[in-house]
Structure 1
């Protein structure tokens, strides 16, 4: 055939792009990113016994603008694993709120402390205009 396409011709150009190696490389990079990101963002833990709640999540996801406030069983207050007073917490919360209006707080309070101590900390956060906060709890085992 004078100008027709022949099948099995080795001189025809390759018109398909094989993306399998590209997908492999991207997935490996994604796995490396996920592993290193979790190692970098780990929260410094203060040993507290979280109260149980049937509606609680196993762990709250933290944002970069999140204040991690903890109250241990003796009633000591910590901000990002550093001991702090109520006035110091108020000052740091205000500074954070001025830098980022979307500042949030996660409160890790020991189940054995009086309710009034938690209310004081929440009040200090609200005085600093940190109105978005969550109380971290341990999910309870539901029996049906």
Structure 2
């Protein structure tokens, strides 16, 4: 198949044709290039920070959830979710690149945090971060 010999049927193969090997290698290279593009496109999207030496200060829409049931937007108490929605829409209209930071005390129920996240998404905010306090690193034993 890939070799050739003299006219004798029992003669040893004295050369190898490398053309099929190169063809297979190029086909595999193309397959890997296509699949790598598909794998990268399904990766987790990240909003990476931009480096700037100066300029405007970025606006942040802060929502704080307290354990006693109160909700604060930019350090002011807001009694209803409808008001949070209105404030978020107004802030987003004023600043199209607005980012939201959702802060919740450790004892706040998960369902309440998810509801606040849903309200922010209903307002059109897509850049939402969770505020945390740094803690001690987890040690791995030997």
TM-score (structure 2 length as normaliser):
0.55
1:104 aligns with 2:83: no
For each residue in 1:67-88, what CA deviation from the matched residue of structure 2 results, as whole angstroms up to 9, or x when unmatched?
A: 1110111121100111112110
Partner of 1:64: 58
Distance 1:135 1:90 in 2: 18
* Residue of 82, 88, 91 corresponding to 2:86: 91
* Deviation, structure 1 residue 101: 1.2
* Deviation, structure 1 residue 89: 0.6
Distance 1:130 1:141 in 2: 31
Q: 1:75·1:117 contact (CA, 8 Å) conserved in 2?
A: no
1:137 aligns with 2:128: no
Distance 1:134 1:75 in 2: 21
* Deviation, structure 1 residue 108: 0.9
Q: SS of the residue aligned with 2:96?
A: coil
Q: SS of the residue aligned with 2:67?
A: coil
TM-score (structure 1 length as normaliser):
0.54
Partner of 1:79: 73
Flag structure 1 segments of 5+ consecutive residues without an equivalent: 1-62
Flag structure 2 segments of 5+ consecutive residues without an equivalent: 1-56
Q: SS of the residue aligned with 1:108?
A: strand
TM superposition outliers: structure 1 runs of 4+ over 3 Å = none
